Structure 1
């Protein structure tokens, strides 16, 4: 049996006016896992993290 999910995102999208910063993001993080969110500048890393805050 796998550890329970502590963070789960299903089809997360974020718009700022007409600009779509995130499009249909799906993510599951289980207890005990460590993840890295990486990508180029402007790809939505900080926006994704703010959605969990």
Structure 2
């Protein structure tokens, strides 16, 4: 199981991720969708 609560990421003055909560159980298949620049890759790092 992977669980994240209240994840925040800031680059300079830009807050890229704002309080992200996610819970993924073993065996779950997850897709991260969103427009360009919305923080998808940052979330995966």
Q: Which residue in the other structure is 1:3 paired with?
A: none
Off by >6 Å, runs of 4+ in structure 1: none
**Structure 1 stretches lacking a partner, 5+ long:** 1-5
Offset at residue 19 of structure 1 (A): 0.7
CA RMSD of aligned residues (A): 0.6
Return the TM-score normalized by structure 1: 0.81
Count of residue pairs brought into register by the alignment: 45
Return the TM-score normalized by structure 2: 0.94
